[in-house]
Chain A
């Protein structure tokens, strides 16, 4: 490799170099350039374009507080903890996978064995100051207990306000009003999950 190869490292093989307009060399060429640009009518093209957009009236405004943006169901916003449909109790079984997989270490859970010798989740919190909304927790959850919601208006006085279990868990009255949607967000099964899953062959 020679020195000039090193000096041209920034030019890759597919690179097309556009020289642009040649700079005028003498006064006559400069004059020609001015006259050409003056008579070209580029400015009227600009006028026409904005006028066309005006008469098309193709407005892209969302009138925000009255009208909200439709988020994709796969959007990954503040988490939701869901409840079981039959009993209304929490779906979370305290397995700790989300805590384990969380790459920013923002999920903390506390579990204990209750009087029926079942594992119960006593504390569950997500530090949203650290959360990067990667979606791993929702992906890994075996019970579909934690999913990502679609609320994009996150305003509060303190970021810790979002992170507690009571805030993320479906409230009981919402649940009783039958308003917990089964698979609303990221981490949920797709609509055609049943068709996609094959039965386990038991015959071997």
Chain B
């Protein structure tokens, strides 16, 4: 009886998370266009619905009804499965991420996390690294040189930055002694000064940069940077398959925002009089906004510079950070 209840609860949570995050990812595309437009002194979408709000629905209709083209020489099954990998891994990674503090609804305590496993951080990063297969397989199966270049860049860059991500979160983990995101959150429950961003500023910067890289966002989006490789791995995609890549990217953005908030910025602990859930929303919104903001402001980086900065600067810094943390802990 109890197990059935847990099963039902988990399924309901999973459906809610997928629905809400997919909706947010769709809405984020609208917000992104608006924010970029305002920063460039334009208006952005204005015609569909009040203030362009229904543009989201119009885009959805367009993506779903567009012809789904598979190029002649493409490896068809892989070509067709690649966007699904990209989108699913983005959502699967959310299974171990807590969003809000637990609350009571109709006398029933709800934990807003699908599964509280004690290796949550490892799990999220593992699944996120499986997500590389999306761009990689898409690019390699497309029978297009730009796609192949995009795939090569995806492997080289995302794989390299996995190293930086892993090493940069190692130092906070050493301090906390747990991989569970809930434990990490509880570690920072003593107000503003207990946030890990003050104790691990270097790890925070490294993790933020790696987050930008792994979500494939602006300064580091060389794997689909149109001035160099047309649209990279997504060149041959159309319709909803392309849309899946897009949703995956935005879902990843939300996951990274939640992760940074929990790891370094105090998570869902309440601050002064502000309740935890609101704090979480504020932090995640700020991070999503930062993703858009950076896209409006900063130029792209060259792939060789990117690899240089990854292996010669960020990785040594991460290792030094771990060493220092270790000495301090001892």
Contacts and interface: CB of A to CB of B under 8 A. Distances in A.
A58 B297 contact: no
A46 B43 contact: no
A53 B294 CA distance: 14
B298 A43 contact: yes
A50 B298 CA distance: 10
A53 B298 contact: no
B307 to A, nearest CB: 15
Contact of A50 (B46, B297, B313): B297
A47 interface: yes
A61 B39 contact: no
Contact of B293 (A50, A57, A58, A59): A50
Contacts of B39: 50-51, 53-54
B299 to A, nearest CB: 8
A60 B298 contact: no
Given A43-B298, A46-B298, A63-B46, A51 B41 contact: no
A110 to B, nearest CB: 47
B42 interface: yes
A63 B47 CA distance: 9
Nearest to B219: A43
B287 to A, nearest CB: 14
B35 to A, nearest CB: 7
B297 A54 contact: no
A60 B46 CA distance: 14
Contacts of B298: 43, 46-47
A51 B46 contact: no
B297 A46 contact: yes
A178 B184 CA distance: 79
A95 B35 CA distance: 59
Contacts of A202: none
Interface string A189-204: 0000000000000000
B38 A57 contact: yes
Contacts of B40: 50, 53
B303 to A, nearest CB: 18
Given A61-B43, A63-B43, A54 B294 contact: no
Contacts of B17: none
Contacts of A49: 297
Contacts of A57: 38
Contacts of A46: 297-298
A61 B38 CA distance: 10
B43 A47 contact: no
A59 B51 CA distance: 14
Nearest to A49: B297
A59 B43 CA distance: 7
Sorted nearest first, the 3 A-B pairs with minimum C-beta distance are A50-B39, A46-B297, A61-B43
15 contacts: A46-B298, A47-B293, A50-B293, A51-B39, A53-B39, A53-B40, A58-B41, A59-B38, A59-B41, A59-B42, A60-B41, A60-B42, A61-B41, A61-B42, A63-B46
